Amino acid sequence: MNMLQFGHMTNNLGYQITEHDIEITIQCLKADNKPCSREDAIEYLENSKTIADIVAQKIVEDEQNGIIDPVNLKNN
């Protein structure tokens, strides 16, 4: 991969963590017997955004380099 971006790269994708996201994440972390403070939930969500963006960037790069066939998304 030519470039990895962290943190700031997901801020431009339009997704903002909501209170509802934080509450649901706290419930999920509690169900998995993991730390479940508000700060833990926010950190978990931020890390998930970063990982998802890295994966998406790799897919786009592989498509552009002909390594994989283009991903076709279905419109609902």
User: Is residue 30 a part of any domain in this protein?
Assistant: no
Are 36 and 24 in contact by the 8 Å Cβ rule? The answer is no
What pLDDT is stored for residue 51 in this prediction? 87
User: Is residue 59 a part of any domain in this protein?
Assistant: yes
Q: Where in the sequence is the domain holding 45, given as residue range(s)?
A: 38-66
User: Is residue 20 a part of any domain in this protein?
Assistant: no
Who contacts 62 (Cβ-Cβ below 8 Å, separation ≥6)?
A: 68
Are 42 and 22 in contact by the 8 Å Cβ rule? The answer is yes
Residue 56: C-alpha distances to residues 5, 33, 36 (Å): 12, 29, 28
What pLDDT is stored for residue 5 in this prediction? 41
State how many domains the chain has. Answer: 1
User: Is residue 2 a part of any domain in this protein?
Assistant: no
Q: Which of 5, 1, 3 is nearest to 52 (CA)?
A: 5
Instruction: Give per-residue pLDDT as tens, 3-53.
Output: 344 444 444 556 788 999 999 999 999 998 887 899 999 999 999 988 888
The pTM score is 0.59
